[in-house]
Every structure is written in structure tokens, then in C-alpha cells.
């Protein structure tokens, strides 16, 4: 990958609702239990509540503060979401206004893959002259979930994660990117206007492992690395068993994977940035490390990127 102008992430932050919904809470109204959910998914609890714009603003404000940047220094807000506040306008516009940002604003919808897609788009904008961008992954899946039905409701949570990316001369931190989709599989995960989220969990599980392994392998090869040179894996948090199966097939020890699904459930576009920020805040991700982010989701879409942290 050749680029004269790259990007470096200089700030990050998250926002999650205060309300915690545990597996035991769910088992009071649904035919399920903590043991099943924990064993089959790795989820113990999730956060529920808020709006996509509200959580996005909070996470974005935290990322700006960490980067030491004012809102008027940001050239565009790129929001990855599959649960916009409204059909029109894009929720990035509400976030732009809420933060007092003067640059552009647009949404990216690639379901759970959205944040990696948005990060890739951001690096494209930096390459053609943007100086600073705010990239947010935020979803409030609870708003499109049928809470009387167990197949989806045990999985989902709400949240947001945001990063500020700044242009640098030279390649920056992005070593490679890989994005893909197979629209013939769009029936596996969908939500019609005014409806509830539907997913064919078993089929997604099978396909997810394959596409994530293919995409991650291609991104690592494109970065000029071998798998053992990957220091940290930040995967989409859909199911702990999917992360485990992907690690095994990639030849990555599970200890290299960042896991936050136990606390947050599947937060779609927010899941990768929530895990990324957790790794940063706990000191697991430090300058000089190679970090692989990889995800899959509705569409079906998939995407991976390798960053050399710190540029
Ligand atoms: O963000 C990307 C989108 N989504 C995903 O990545 C989801 C991917 N898929 C999955 O994570 C898993 O397929 C699920 C967690 C959705 C389901 O796990 P599974 O291991 O595929 O379970 P299953 O559907 O095969 O069900 C196994 C058993 C069944 O009982 P029998 O037929 O063996 O007696 C189900 O009736 O577990 C039962 N079951 C439950 N029991 C308690 C299914 N759901 C539940 C539940 N609580 N919530």
C-alpha cells in the first residue's frame, strides 16, 4: 500500500448507557438463563438506553478532549451506525451540531463492520488532504430489538466508541486494509423499516468465521507481516466462540484478543472501538505494536485493517 499522507489516531473515548441489563434480568422475562447465555456467547451483561446521537456526542467529546483538539479543528465527522436516530438526516449531522464541529458529516452503514469501513474511508480522506477527522462507531440496537423474543435480545447492547485521526506526512499507522461484502447474503441479518432485528444466528456464525479469517489473513499479508507479528487482535464482539474459532484458525493465541463482550454484548458498529479503547485505557495497546482489527456483519460485510500503533 502506497500513500504520501497517512493518519495517526491521537484521541479516543467511549460512551455507554448507565443501565446494566444482566443475564439474570433477561431470564425473568424470557425462557433463557445465565448459564446458557454465558456458555454460548460469553455475554454476562450489556448496557441499554440512550440515542445514537447522544452516545455518539459523548464518545466524540471524550475523543476530542483526549486528542486536545477543538471542534472547529475537525474536517469531518464520520459516523458508523446501523441505528440512525432518523432515516434522514444522517445522525452524523446531529453529532456535528451537538459537538459544535464545523466540518462535514456523514453516516456509514456496514452494520457491525461499520467502524473498520469508516476508518478506511477516513484514511482515504486524509490521503487527499483532510487534516483531522472524528470517526465514531455507535449503535443502539436495543431500539430495534423485540424484547419478547430471546434469539436476538440476549445478544445486543448499546454503546459508542470514537477516535480522532490526524494527518501525517508519510504512511502513518495504517499498514493495510481489506473490505468486502456479499450482498446475496443480506437476508441473514436484517431490519425492515419499523420492524425488529432478525438474524439467522447459526448461518451467520458459520459464515462469520470463514470471512473473518480470510479477511484478516489478507490484511496481515498485505501489511507485509506474518501472523506471529500481530501483537493484538481487536475483533468484532458478536460471540466469544466466534472470536475463539477465528483465533484458532488464524493461529493467534486467544490471549492476544481483546474481549469486552462479557460487559457490553454485541454493540454492532461500537463493538470494535469499545474494545480498542479498552485496550488503550488498560495499557494493553502501546506504541510500536501491530494491531489487527477485524469484523463482520449484516450485508454480509466484512473488513480488516492492520495498524502500526503510534505511526
Ligand atoms: O453481529 C453479527 C451478527 N450476529 C452474530 O454473529 C450471531 C452469530 N450466532 C450466534 O452467536 C449463535 O448462533 C447464537 C448465540 C445466536 C445461538 O447459539 P447456538 O449455539 O447456535 O444455539 P442454537 O440456536 O443452535 O440453539 C441450541 C439450543 C436449542 O435447544 P435444543 O434444540 O438443542 O434443545 C435452542 O432451543 O439452545 C436453545 N436456545 C436457548 N436456550 C436458552 C436457543 N437460544 C436460547 C436461549 N436461552 N437464549
Helix (H, G, I), strand (E, B) or coil at 3: coil
Ligand 1: residue whose CA is nearest its atom 14: 201
Residue after which a domain boundary falls, among 111, 144, 169 = 169
CA of 3 to the centre of ligand 1 (A): 44
Helix axes 91-99, 52-67, angle to 10 degrees: 50
* Ligand 1 atom closest to Cα of residue 111: 1
Residues in contact with 12: Cβ distance below 8 Å, sequence separation at least 6, in sequence order: 62, 63, 66, 161, 162, 163, 164, 273, 276, 277, 280
Asked if residue 105 and residue 127 are part of one domain, the reply reads yes
- Of 23, 109, 178, 236, the active-site residue reads 236
Task: Report whether pLDDT(191) > 90.
Answer: yes
Residue after which a domain boundary falls, among 169, 187, 207 = 169
Q: What is the pLDDT of residue 244?
A: 98
User: What's the average model confidence in pLDDT over 9-35?
Assistant: 98
Q: What is the pLDDT of residue 311?
A: 64
Asked if residue 224 and residue 86 are part of one domain, the reply reads no
- Of 23, 109, 112, 247, the active-site residue reads 112
Asked if residue 181 and residue 161 are part of one domain, the reply reads no
CA distance 61 to 68: 10
Q: Which residues pair with 257 in a beta bridge?
A: 233
Residue 306 Cβ inside 6 Å of ligand 1? The answer reads no
pLDDT band at 2 (very low <50, low <70, confident <90, very high): low
Residue after which a domain boundary falls, among 169, 204, 222 = 169
pLDDT band at 190 (very low <50, low <70, confident <90, very high): very high
Residue 43 Cβ inside 6 Å of ligand 1? The answer reads no
Residue 193 Cβ inside 6 Å of ligand 1? The answer reads no
Asked if residue 22 and residue 162 are part of one domain, the reply reads yes
Q: What is the pLDDT of residue 9?
A: 98
Asked if residue 165 and residue 30 are part of one domain, the reply reads yes
Asked if residue 180 and residue 153 are part of one domain, the reply reads no
Asked if residue 208 and residue 193 are part of one domain, the reply reads yes
Q: Which residue has the higher pLDDT, 199 or 311?
A: 199
The model's pLDDT over 204-228, given as tens digits with 9 standing for 90+, comes to 999 999 999 999 999 999 999 999 9
Q: What is the pLDDT of residue 213?
A: 98
Asked if residue 127 and residue 207 are part of one domain, the reply reads no
Task: Write the CATH number for 237.
Answer: 3.40.47.10
Asked if residue 231 and residue 155 are part of one domain, the reply reads no
User: What's the average model confidence in pLDDT over 137-154?
Assistant: 97
Task: Report whether pLDDT(3) > 80.
Answer: no
CA of 205 to the centre of ligand 1 (A): 10
CA of 201 to the centre of ligand 1 (A): 7
Task: Report whether pLDDT(169) > 80.
Answer: yes
Q: What is the pLDDT of residue 171?
A: 87
Cα→Cα distances 21→138, 187, 271, 277, Å: 18, 29, 17, 22
The model's pLDDT over 233-258, given as tens digits with 9 standing for 90+, comes to 999 999 999 999 999 999 999 999 99
Residue 241 Cβ inside 6 Å of ligand 1? The answer reads no
φ and ψ at 213, to 5 degrees? Answer: -65, -45
Pairing of strands 45-47, 20-22: antiparallel
Task: Report whether pLDDT(91) > 70.
Answer: yes
Q: For 125-152, give the secondary structure using H, E and C.
A: HHHCCCCEEEEEEEEEHHHHCCCCCHHH
CA angle 293, 213, 11 (to 5 degrees): 0
Burial environment of residue 97 by CB neighbours within 10 A (0 to 12, 13 to 18, 19 or more)? middle
Is residue 138 part of the annotated active site? The answer reads no
pTM across the whole model: 0.97
Is residue 112 part of the annotated active site? The answer reads yes
Task: Report whether pLDDT(124) > 70.
Answer: yes
- Of 23, 178, 239, 266, the active-site residue reads 266
Residue 297 Cβ inside 6 Å of ligand 1? The answer reads yes
Neighbours of 107 (CB within 10 A): 23
CA of 128 to the centre of ligand 1 (A): 45
Structural domain boundaries enclosing 108 = 5-169
Mean pLDDT of the chain: 97
Asked if residue 178 and residue 135 are part of one domain, the reply reads no
Task: Report whether pLDDT(175) > 70.
Answer: yes
Cell of 183: 450482498
Asked if residue 144 and residue 63 are part of one domain, the reply reads yes
Task: Report whether pLDDT(75) > 70.
Answer: yes
The model's pLDDT over 258-293, given as tens digits with 9 standing for 90+, comes to 999 999 999 999 999 999 999 999 999 999 999 999
pLDDT band at 1 (very low <50, low <70, confident <90, very high): low
Q: Name the domain count of the chain.
A: 2
Asked if residue 179 and residue 165 are part of one domain, the reply reads no
Is residue 247 part of the annotated active site? The answer reads no
pLDDT band at 133 (very low <50, low <70, confident <90, very high): very high
Amino acid at each position: 500500500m502506497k500513500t504520501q499522507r497517512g493518519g495517526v489516531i491521537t484521541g479516543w473515548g467511549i460512551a455507554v448507557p448507565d443501565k446494566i441489563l444482566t443475564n439474570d434480568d433477561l431470564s425473568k422475562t424470557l425462557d433463557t438463563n445465565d448459564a446458557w447465555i454465558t456458555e454460548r456467547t460469553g455475554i454476562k451483561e450489556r448496557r441499554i438506553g440512550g440515542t445514537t446521537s447522544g452516545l455518539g456526542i459523548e464518545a466524540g467529546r471524550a475523543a476530542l478532549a483526549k486528542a486536545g483538539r477543538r471542534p472547529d479543528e475537525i474536517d469531518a465527522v464520520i459516523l458508523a451506525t446501523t441505528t440512525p436516530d432518523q432515516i434522514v438526516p444522517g445522525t452524523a449531522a446531529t453529532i456535528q451540531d451537538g459537538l459544535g464541529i464545523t466540518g462535514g458529516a456523514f453516516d456509514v452503514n456496514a452494520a457491525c463492520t461499520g467502524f473498520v469501513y469508516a476508518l478506511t474511508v477516513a484514511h482515504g480522506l486524509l490521503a487527499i488532504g483532510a487534516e483531522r477527522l472524528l470517526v465514531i462507531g455507535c449503535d443502539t440496537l436495543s431500539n430495534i430489538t423485540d424484547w419478547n423474543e430471546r434469539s436476538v435480545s440476549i445478544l445486543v447492547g448499546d454503546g459508542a466508541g470514537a477516535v480522532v485521526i490526524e494527518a501525517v506526512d508519510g504512511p502513518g499507522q495504517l499498514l493495510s486494509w481489506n473490505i468486502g461484502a456479499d450482498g446475496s447474503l443480506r437476508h441473514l441479518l436484517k431490519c425492515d423499516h419499523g420492524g425488529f432485528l432478525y438474524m439467522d444466528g447459526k448461518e451467520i456464525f458459520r459464515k462469520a468465521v470463514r470471512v473473518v479469517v480470510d479477511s484478516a489473513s489478507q490484511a496481515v499479508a498485505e501489511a507485509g507481516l506474518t501472523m506471529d507479528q500481530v501483537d493484538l487482535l481487536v475483533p468484532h464482539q458478536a460471540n466469544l466462540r466466534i472470536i475463539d474459532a477465528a483465533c484458532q484458525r488464524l493461529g493467534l493465541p486467544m490471549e492476544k484478543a481483546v474481549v469486552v463482550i462479557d460487559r457490553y454484548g454485541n454493540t454492532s458498529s461500537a463493538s470494535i472501538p469499545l474494545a480498542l479503547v479498552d485496550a488503550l485505557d488498560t495499557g494493553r495497546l502501546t506504541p510500536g505494536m501491530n494491531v489487527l482489527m477485524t469484523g463482520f456483519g449484516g450485508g454480509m460485510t466484512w473488513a480488516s485493517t492492520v495498524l502500526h500503533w503510534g505511526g
